[in-house]
Amino acid sequence: MYSSARFGRMTARPDWLTVRPILGGEPRMDLLSDVLRSVRVTGAVFLAAEFTAPWCVRASVTSEDCLQFMGKPAHVIAYHFVAEGSMLVSVGDGPASEVQAGEIVLFPQNDVHLMASEPNLEAVTASGLMQPQAEGKLMRIDHGGGGERARLICGFLASEQPYHPLLATLPKVVKVDVSRRSSRDWIESSLRFAASELAEGRLASSGTMSRVAEAVLTEAIQQYSSSLDDDGSGWLRGLQDPYIGRALTLIHQNLAAPWSNETLASEVALSRSAFVDRFTSIVGLPPIRYLTLWRLQTAKLNLRETRRTVAQLANSVGYESEEAFSRAFKREFGVSPSQWRTQQAS
């Protein structure tokens, strides 16, 4: 059944594609790399699609779609790799952008999106086009009017973190051109390999797909960060700000330090009120709330990946007692640190 929604207007140069100089200063690039490493994502390819013009579909990926490959994730990022041809993509009432062969388009907030061969076509739901396959095999879509062909490999990136300030700062649509990057051959061949494995009824190595997921996300964030202008807000914008970027660097260089609004403001040569207002308006969180979140996220990763005791981890991220750390951890994640570690081990 066709929907009443029509594909949005096309624009040749969406704002998020404007090329700007990349983040300046080696320390801040190091910070971006460190934070990227904290975005632990896994990934999978689940669909191969072939469309022939004219065509228009509405698509989305739910956490239930991930269950064949992993547990139910807290956050999902859908993506499409255009292996051949081109398409238009839009979210909501936003403008459409063309995605060509060799490019990947990601949806960091996992919004429902439209894909089409041309503007102003009626959309059909993609899930209704998926062809039933044997268990474990790659889903397929073959759809369209028989004209120019576009071939897509569709997948998702998944994270156990429901909120991450770096992901939250990204726009609804991010286009990544891997055709001009040194990682192109590896990313493209890995996606094709995963698709061929599923077509034969085998799941591609989870380790390989996780590395592909991390590489795709890293490319997306680095390319997007180089396009930022002097306005706007979010974590990446904060990193570019001379005051807030300095504060973020200080926080991440020493999470255990007894930071306060006063000490951070003093370090960046602002008054306390001016610093708090500037940090909150740009990053989207007050400074101490941001610090608390990062302390807990860092401790959570170390609970899974190290054998350090809860008391040792509490001290390493700035808590004076295990009890205070455990209360904060449970308030944020719903379980105690020991319970979370046990869940991960099982």
Confidence of residue 155 (pLDDT cuts 50, 70, 90): confident
Structure tokens at 157: 């990136």
CA distance 295 to 300: 9
For residue 294, what is the DSSP state? H
pLDDT of residue 262: 97
State the CB neighbour count (10 A cutoff) for residue 289. Answer: 13
Average pLDDT over residues 234-255: 86
pTM for this entry: 0.67
- Alpha-carbon distance 314 to 137, whole Å? 45
pLDDT, one tens digit per residue, over 35-75 is 766 667 777 777 889 999 999 999 988 777 777 777 777 78
- The residues facing 340 across adjacent strands are none
Q: Are 39 and 108 within 8 A, CB to CB?
A: no
In CATH, what class is 39-225?
mainly beta
Q: Is the pLDDT of residue 260 over 60?
A: yes
pLDDT of 277 strictly over 90: yes
Instruction: Cite the residue boundaries of each domain of the chain with CATH code 1.10.10.60.
Output: 235-345
Top pLDDT among 281 and 31 is at 281
Which pLDDT tens digit goes with each residue over 313-322?
Answer: 999 999 999 9
Residue 18: helix, strand or coil by DSSP?
coil
CATH number of 235-345: 1.10.10.60
- In the chain, residues under CATH classification 2.60.120.10 are 39-225
Q: Checking DSSP bridges between strand 149-159 and strand 75-84, what pairing results, if any?
A: antiparallel
The predicted pLDDT at position 24 comes to 37
